């Protein structure tokens, strides 16, 4: 007999209801729910294996968010007309959910877990990414999969000075702060978003409001779980433990790990020393020891290293490379390091290095960004590459992974805040190639990208810098240490990865993951203030490298200009069957793109040479110009008659230069006076309002001979 669906409903503010239902769809999954707001419906399922794979040593969690095009009544545009691999947008939403869910599972839980979240019905005003983690957490809550706590996520945006939870798509377009927050009832777990140079205290206020909204969603999940009758979680096989072996590892390696860790050595030197010590440990166990014991000993060694380094930082206030807790590593930066790209920069911070280029393109280079509900073009693109040699490793080269997509997106959101508006004609692509990595290459990408933009002549008003912060805590005595510009090992060993980007005047982007319980708002404020000092230190060094955007693009960069004309002139520029625009392109070598936007025509003119660009711009301006009586023009003779010459004084506009208006001297004939194609300066002296004909004079621009009496039309 079919079970009856169970549901709960809650209000997220402004009379907007959200419902969570289970027991109706996907009933063979360990947990399945649908979350609905308006016409937006999200299905989330979770399935976990009962036993870990043999030899499993890590937690294999897979989180995939997918949007069905049918949810918005659309057919995919691909050749196969079906959904393919996850888009970058879907990957980014998947990462938001994954980062919040992962800390919920016990550290000794090693079974495969798959969480699938699918948008099955779309609402053009409801942002599904703000509801996706709620759906995933609810699916876990109604299952017997062993999670420690229930969480949720909300979007918090500041719109016209007011904070709004889960704003509509229309409202979000007006926001100057936009963050996704993930949290349990007590603790923040994940923050990601962007702002228009907001203050640190504004971010703290946004977090507090978001956390209150999250508590409402957690309470609804608890109510749903109670209605379903879930009272406990499944038992699971835990990894084997050997207390005697663990003590043996500690006795052999603890002091040696401490000495290596406090030696302030470089990354690879320290790593080689640790690896050599681990090999010594395994050798000390004897030749006949079983492989599973060796594997367990290596795990205990890694756990010991984690403990020793953390205690060293907390008790001795010493970091792995010898720096102070709030000290940024040595900086080195150069611009214009490559001759052919339109802009380039090399940014080095300690053992992290980014070589970044900027390419300027035409409107034809815009990127189509597509989701189920939205299909739009963007003129600003940032790609982040992380080759294996950057960490001294050998790996297969594959398509960009989720990490590359996520890091690139954070840098893109941060730099986008300083990009010029739609009036800027270029499509801009930034590519960051990480050449060395030991701590926050995404922040190096932000800094290198800002430098390269200025080098390319993109008119960004301010530099954007970024810094990665870390946190190490000890629950036993409440000690904590906030670390500025963390190393890769400090990220791995720490309790928080907190990246902050911004200008001298405020925050532009934030990405934070917390691996522990109990981050207080006071600690958050302290971390934000320390981050502010760190990124200001970096940004001042960037201004010393290049203080402002170059006034012009590089000589080898394409030239582009954008004109806005009344839409009534669009036809005149294009001409019958495109003849005029084709002639302009043929004569100037420029590429012209015209798009009707509202009451205006947006004309983008692209040329590899400045001369061709200037000629095309002047030509189009001439077509749309309204002739003014009294104005002087450079005209071209188009035809000669016995009574004068017809001249083109503006593109597409001709008038008669009467024989009596050519010279103060009386001319009996036009023979030998002018020839076709000759350039002459003329003045518009009148317009016949009945016929629309233009009256032009050349002689009025010449000195009048003494004693000469006025004659003809100019008299």
Q: Is 25 helix (H, G, I), strand (E, B) or coil?
A: coil
Phi, psi of 94 (to 5 degrees): -60, -40
**Does 211 lie in the same domain as 90?**
yes
With respect to residue 710, please indicate whether it lies within any of the assigned structural domains. no
**Does 357 lie in the same domain as 312?**
no
Cβ neighbours, 10 Å, residue 246? 17
DSSP result, 215-229: HHHHHHHHHHHHHHT
**Does 518 lie in the same domain as 378?**
yes
User: Is 176 assigned a ligand-binding role in the annotation?
Assistant: no
Q: How far is CA 545 from CA 127, 331, 460, 522, 700, in A?
A: 41, 11, 15, 35, 56
Residue 114 binned pLDDT confidence (cut-offs 50, 70, 90): very high
DSSP result, 610-678: HHHHHHHHHHHHHHHPPP-TT-EEEEEEEEEETTEEEEEEETTEEEEEEGGGT-SSPPS--TTT--TT-
Run of H or E residues at 472: strand 465-474
**Does 179 lie in the same domain as 125?**
yes
Distance (Å, rounded) from C-alpha 405 to C-alpha 151? Answer: 25
* Full 3-state SS string of 151-199: CEEEEEEEECCEEEECCCHHHHCCEEEEEEEEECCCCEEEEEEEEEEEC
Q: Which of 570, 599, 624 is the last residue of a domain?
A: 624
**CA nearest neighbour of 498 among 191, 180, 183:** 191
With respect to residue 251, please indicate whether it lies within any of the assigned structural domains. yes
pLDDT at residue 209 above 70? yes
Mean pLDDT of 415-441: 92
**Does 263 lie in the same domain as 145?**
no
pLDDT at residue 709 above 60? no
Tokens standing for 270?
A: 């320290």
Cβ neighbours, 10 Å, residue 215? 15
Here the CATH number for the domain that contains residue 263 is 1.10.10
User: 703-706: which pairs have CB atoms within 8 A and are 24 or more residues apart?
Assistant: 704/664, 705/664
Phi, psi of 580 (to 5 degrees): -65, -50
Cβ burial, residue 339 (10 Å; 0-12/13-18/19+):
exposed
**Does 267 lie in the same domain as 121?**
no
Q: How many residues does the chain have?
A: 715
- The lowest-confidence range among 114-128, 287-301, 431-445, 543-557 is 287-301
With respect to residue 715, please indicate whether it lies within any of the assigned structural domains. no
- The lowest-confidence range among 290-299, 452-461, 582-591 is 290-299
- Strands 380-385, 113-121: pairing kind: unpaired
Mean pLDDT of 668-687: 85
Sign of the CA dihedral running 258, 260, 265, 271: negative
Q: How far separated are the first and last CA of the chain, in Å rounded? A: 105
**CA nearest neighbour of 144 among 293, 31, 49:** 31
Cβ burial, residue 179 (10 Å; 0-12/13-18/19+):
buried
With respect to residue 708, please indicate whether it lies within any of the assigned structural domains. no
**CA nearest neighbour of 463 among 345, 558, 338, 384:** 345
pLDDT in tens, 141-174: 999 999 999 999 999 999 999 999 999 999 999 9
pLDDT in tens, 583-632: 999 999 898 888 888 888 889 898 888 888 888 988 888 888 777 788 88
Quick one: the chain helix, strand, coil %, rounded to 5? 35, 30, 35
Q: What's the mean per-residue pLDDT of the chain? A: 90
pTM here?
0.84
Distance (Å, rounded) from C-alpha 538 to C-alpha 532? Answer: 10
With respect to residue 233, please indicate whether it lies within any of the assigned structural domains. no
**Does 636 lie in the same domain as 694?**
yes
pLDDT at 400: 86
Here the CATH number for the domain that contains residue 501 is 3.30.230.70
pLDDT at 454: 97
pLDDT in tens, 524-578: 889 999 999 999 999 999 999 999 999 999 988 888 888 888 888 888 889 888 8
With respect to residue 180, please indicate whether it lies within any of the assigned structural domains. yes
Tokens standing for 404?
A: 């590359």
Q: How far is CA 267 from CA 321, 452, 538, in A?
A: 8, 28, 22
**Does 273 lie in the same domain as 363?**
no
pLDDT at 414: 95
With respect to residue 235, please indicate whether it lies within any of the assigned structural domains. no
CB 342 within 8 A of CB 448: no
Q: What letter does residue 417 receive in the DSSP assignment?
A: T
Q: Is 275 helix (H, G, I), strand (E, B) or coil?
A: helix
Mean pLDDT of 108-117: 95
Between 491 and 112, the more confident residue is 112
Q: How many domains does the chain have?
A: 5
pLDDT at residue 689 above 80? no
Distance (Å, rounded) from C-alpha 432 to C-alpha 690? Answer: 63
Q: What's the domain range around 660? A: 631-701
**CA nearest neighbour of 562 among 535, 589, 594:** 594
Q: Which of 316, 343, 358 is the last residue of a domain?
A: 316
Q: How far is CA 231 from CA 29, 222, 228, 250, 534, in A?
A: 18, 11, 9, 39, 48
Here the CATH number for the domain that contains residue 679 is 2.40.50.140
**Does 536 lie in the same domain as 397?**
yes
Cβ burial, residue 547 (10 Å; 0-12/13-18/19+):
exposed
Cβ neighbours, 10 Å, residue 638? 12
Between 178 and 562, the more confident residue is 178
**Does 483 lie in the same domain as 339?**
yes
Cβ neighbours, 10 Å, residue 30? 20
Q: Which of 624, 654, 676 is the last residue of a domain?
A: 624
With respect to residue 579, please indicate whether it lies within any of the assigned structural domains. yes
Distance (Å, rounded) from C-alpha 680 to C-alpha 51? Answer: 91
Between 178 and 699, the more confident residue is 178
Q: How far is CA 625 from CA 100, 311, 573, 633, in A?
A: 58, 74, 11, 12
Q: How many helices (H) and strands (E) in the chain?
A: 14, 29
Residue 715 binned pLDDT confidence (cut-offs 50, 70, 90): very low
Distance (Å, rounded) from C-alpha 500 to C-alpha 492? Answer: 18
**CA nearest neighbour of 399 among 414, 380, 384:** 384
**Does 574 lie in the same domain as 526?**
no
User: Is 64 assigned a ligand-binding role in the annotation?
Assistant: no
pLDDT at 411: 95
Q: Reading across the β-sheet that carries 113-121, which strands appear in turn?
A: 6-11, 17-22, 31-37, 40-48, 113-121, 61-67
- The lowest-confidence range among 261-270, 314-323, 705-714 is 705-714
pLDDT in tens, 16-72: 999 999 999 999 999 999 999 999 999 999 999 999 998 888 899 999 999 999 998
**Does 575 lie in the same domain as 499?**
no
CB 492 within 8 A of CB 380: no
pLDDT at 710: 55
């Amino acid at each position: 007999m079919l079970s009856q669906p169970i549901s709960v409903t809650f209000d997220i503010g402004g009379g907007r209801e959200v419902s969570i239902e289970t027991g109706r769809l996907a009933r063979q999954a360990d947990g399945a729910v649908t979350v609905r707001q308006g016409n937006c419906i999200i299905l989330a399922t979770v399935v976990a294996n009962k036993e870990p794979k043999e030899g499993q040593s890590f937690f294999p969690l897979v989180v995939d968010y997918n949007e069905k095009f049918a949810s918005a009544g659309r057919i995919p545009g691909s050749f196969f007309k079906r959904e393919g691999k996850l888009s970058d947008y879907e990957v980014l939403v998947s990462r938001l959910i994954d980062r919040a869910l992962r800390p919920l599972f016990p550290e000794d839980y090693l079974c495969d877990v798959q969480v699938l979240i699918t948008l099955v019905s779309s609402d053009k005003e409801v942002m599904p990414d703000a509801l996706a983690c709620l759906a995933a957490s609810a699916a876990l809550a109604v299952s017997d999969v062993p999670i420690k706590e229930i969480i949720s996520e909300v979007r918090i945006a500041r719109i016209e000075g007011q904070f709004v939870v889960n704003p509509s798509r229309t409202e979000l377009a007006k926001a100057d702060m936009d963050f996704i927050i993930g949290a349990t009832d007590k603790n923040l777990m994940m923050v990601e978003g962007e702002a228009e140079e907001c203050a640190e205290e504004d971010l703290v206020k946004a977090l507090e409001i978001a956390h209150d909204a999250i508590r409402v969603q957690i309470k609804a999940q608890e109510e749903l779980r109670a209605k379903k009758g879930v009272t406990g979680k499944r038992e699971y096989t835990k990894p084997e433990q050997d207390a005697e072996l663990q003590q043996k590892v500690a006795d052999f390696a603890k002091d040696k790990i401490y000495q290596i860790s406090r030696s302030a050595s470089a990354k690879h030197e320290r790593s080689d020393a640790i690896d050599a010590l681990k090999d010594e440990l395994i050798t000390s166990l004897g030749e006949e020891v079983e492989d599973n014991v060796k594997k367990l000993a290596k795990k205990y060694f890694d756990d010991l290293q984690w403990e020793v380094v953390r205690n060293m930082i907390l008790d001795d206030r010493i970091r792995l490379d010898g720096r102070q807790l709030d000290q940024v590593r040595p900086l080195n930066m150069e611009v214009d390091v490559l001759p052919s790209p339109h802009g380039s920069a090399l940014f080095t911070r300690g053992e992290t290095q980014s070589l970044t280029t900027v390419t300027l393109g035409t409107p034809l280079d815009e990127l189509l960004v597509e989701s189920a509900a939205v299909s739009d073009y963007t003129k600003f693109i940032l790609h982040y590459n992380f080759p294996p040699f950057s960490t001294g490793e050998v790996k297969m080269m594959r398509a960009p992974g989720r990490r590359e997509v996520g890091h690139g997106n954070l840098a893109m959101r941060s730099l986008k805040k300083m990009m010029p508006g739609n009036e800027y004609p270029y499509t801009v692509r930034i590519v960051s190639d990480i050449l060395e990595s030991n701590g926050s290459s995404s922040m190096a990408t932000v800094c290198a990208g800002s430098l390269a933009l200025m080098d390319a002549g993109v008119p960004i008003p301010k530099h954007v810098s970024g810094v990665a912060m870390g946190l190490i805590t000890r629950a036993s005595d409440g000690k904590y240490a906030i670390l500025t510009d963390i190393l890769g090992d400090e990220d791995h060993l720490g309790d928080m990865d907190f990246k902050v980007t911004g200008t001298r005047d405020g925050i532009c982007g934030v990405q934070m993951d917390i691996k522990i319980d109990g981050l207080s708002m006071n600690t958050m404020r302290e971390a934000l203030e320390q981050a502010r000092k760190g990124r200001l230190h970096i940004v001042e060094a960037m201004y010393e490298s290049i203080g402002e955007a170059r006034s012009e693009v590089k000589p080898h960069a394409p030239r582009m200009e954008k004109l806005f004309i009344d839409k009534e002139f669009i036809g005149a520029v294009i001409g019958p069957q495109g003849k005029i625009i084709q002639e302009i392109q043929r004569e100037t070598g420029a590429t012209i793109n015209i798009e009707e936007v509202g009451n205006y025509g947006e004309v983008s003119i692209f040329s590899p040479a400045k001369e061709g660009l200037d000629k095309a711009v002047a030509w189009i301006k001439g077509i749309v110009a309204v002739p003014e009586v009294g104005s002087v023009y450079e005209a071209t003779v188009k035809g000669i008659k016995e009574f004068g010459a017809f001249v083109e004084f503006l593109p597409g506009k001709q008038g008669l230069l009467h024989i009596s208006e050519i010279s103060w001297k009386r001319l009996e004939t036009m023979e030998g006076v002018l020839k076709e194609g000759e350039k002459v300066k003329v003045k518009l002296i009148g317009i016949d309002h009945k016929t629309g004909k233009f009256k032009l004079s050349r002689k009025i621009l010449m000195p009048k001979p003494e004693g000469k009496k006025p004659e003809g039309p100019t008299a």
